[in-house]
Structure 1
């Protein structure tokens, strides 16, 4: 009987110690101060030398959706507690591997995004940083349609996860 009571007290103590700190906590690793309730993602312009139409809209929406789905923050159009701004600065395709006849057998598309993150409640937590990722595909494939969609999904998934980790999952 005493063992059961002691076990219950220890479990309650652990639960209270986790929930009583000044940060929201979840098993997904999101760490948001209690005074942060909203975020805004401004449109990321495409300023790359090679412009692939529509990728700026796709990236902006993917970043908005990721934060909305994996945090408790509310998306707003202006005056967000967290503000995400920036631009796509690079869209680059380069050959990666060659065949015996000196032709490319694989290409790599690389996208770079510059982020300006503003924490309106704590200016010292604000920063600017570049994020980049790539996708390799067969040189015989044209980067359009489904192939482009797949490349963008892989690249933007990684970049948005990196941004999410740097701004909301600060361990």
Structure 2
């Protein structure tokens, strides 16, 4: 066998093995999921905050499930998934965020809604990845909007909870 033939065979071998190099646990969504992990489960997150709209518990839980289904190849199971999410909504706080002095009185320039969710994550395949953490996000609203108006604006609340869900996703499967 000549050097050129040997070089060609080496090149073919490298080209043949190259696709196998992609069989690691990284994906284009930024996840870092062990191939042994096949399923996930999300328990309903009860709203244990002192206030908040009645739909918040169900909406947050469903949105968390949907996010994982869209961004991973994991199969959703009702309980006992390889990855397990449970927790509770612990705070739903609406308060002035920017105080302005107007006509000799202090008034809110904007109001801020802050939502905190306590998440317990269990990775049955790698318990070193387990965590329990509170995630928080907020949104600012015009001072003219009161909490009743905001509670009826599901899209506004969803923008806040979507950021919490993204943080939970990144912490649990993207290792950020």
Scaled to the shorter chain, the TM-score interval is 0.7 to 0.9
Task: Tell me how far 1:7 sits from its aligned partner.
Answer: 7.3
Does structure 1 residue 17 correspond to structure 2 residue 21?
A: yes
Does structure 1 residue 162 correspond to structure 2 residue 171?
A: no
* Rg (Cα) greater in structure: 2
Of the structure 1 ranges 83-92 and 161-170, higher mean CA displacement relative to structure 2 is found in 161-170
> In the aligned structure 1, how far is the partner of 2:56 from the partner of 2:91?
11
| 2:156 paired residue among 134, 148, 151 | 151
Residue 107 (structure 1) aligns with: 111
Residue 38 (structure 1) aligns with: 39
| C-alpha contact 2:47 2:56 (8 A) present in aligned 1 | yes
| C-alpha contact 1:51 1:91 (8 A) present in aligned 2 | yes
**Change in CA separation of 1:11 and 1:156 when aligned onto 2, cut-off 3 Å:** farther
Structure 1 length-normalised TM = 0.86
Residues 20-50 of structure 1 deviation map (CA, whole Å, 9 limit, x = unaligned): x3x2x32111121111111110000111122
Alignment length (residue pairs) = 165
Structure 2 gap segments, 5+ residues each:
none
Structure 1 gap segments, 5+ residues each:
none
Does structure 1 residue 93 correspond to structure 2 residue 94?
A: yes
Task: Tell me how far 1:146 sits from its aligned partner.
Answer: 8.0
Task: Tell me how far 1:53 sits from its aligned partner.
Answer: 1.5
After superposition, where does 1:122-161 map in structure 2 within 5 Å? 122-143=126-147, 144=149, 148-161=153-166
| C-alpha contact 1:52 1:91 (8 A) present in aligned 2 | no
After superposition, where does 1:70-85 map in structure 2 within 5 Å? 70-85=71-86
> In the aligned structure 1, how far is the partner of 2:136 from the partner of 2:116?
4
> In the aligned structure 1, how far is the partner of 2:84 from the partner of 2:72?
15
Of the structure 1 ranges 87-96 and 43-52, higher mean CA displacement relative to structure 2 is found in 43-52
